[in-house]
Structure 1
Amino acid sequence: MERESTQSRWAINPRRALALLRITLGLLLLGAFLENYQKGLYTAETYAGYIESLITRGATPDFWKGALQTLAEHAATVAPLQAVLELSLGGLLFLGLLTRLAAGTTFLLLSARWLSEWGIASVGEMAFPMIVALLLAFSNAGHWAGLDGVLSRRRPTLTFG
């Protein structure tokens, strides 16, 4: 019996790596939801105050300040929607369900947050999760250790993330 080479024994399976990135990004979003919930950021008053602070403290591009102002004005509606969005995207990515859609939406959400925190947050803080979300949006990361794989095996004619 031939011994397996050290190099191949320690090689990383790309499907496992994508699944790990997917699960990690999902946990990151779920953690952000819990942190924001504990801070009370999903109430209209606190959310509006946070958005106003982004407008005044940071170097947010002018074209984006108008969008942020609209969010602050409609905080009673937007704050709970953001809570649902963060919780849903985190759960979908963690479970590997509708992965491409969830990852693409996560990329857009993180891009919007990056623009909103321009001049406050470091580039690296947002860049890595954004790159991971974009990578997952164009891969089949939900097929390995995810519900997308289970559903695609049961219904091969349907396309799942």
Structure 2
Amino acid sequence: MKYSAALALLLSITTLQAGFLSPTNASGEKVRCVYSGTDGNCVEPALESSHQLVITVFGQGVAPTVTASPAQAYALAKRAALADGYRQIAERIKGVHIEGQDSVKNMMLQRSTVRTSVDAMVRGANVMDTTFKDGLCEVELEIVLSYSQFSH
């Protein structure tokens, strides 16, 4: 009986603390905790309702050595650079899935492989700049994210 009363008191204090002692940011506004690390500190969300988040990446693509024309080399390098840029945006927004595997024989590492993947839909990215020099195409991509895109 003593234990159940103590447990009920502890639960009610925890509930009160969760409801009234919400974490605040530097200006004293209450924030929603998106991650609580091992130190117990709350990390503020990167995207708040009153702000936009701008992500800029630089995708790179190399022209193939055998092409029908310089124009084809440029087009293929640019396409590769765009694909690289979109992948980088997806990684920043959604995160990267990492899969690793080690093969050990006689207590010695035989083979180590790491595979990364990301699955996302990127919409609204803008090409800000494109440069082509020495067979390398670099594309600057920018995407502007707003809170309303993620709040449903």
- Shorter-chain TM-score tier: under 0.3
- Greater per-residue helix proportion: 1
- Greater per-residue strand proportion: 2
Q: TM-score, normalised on structure 1?
A: 0.25
Q: TM-score, normalised on structure 2?
A: 0.27
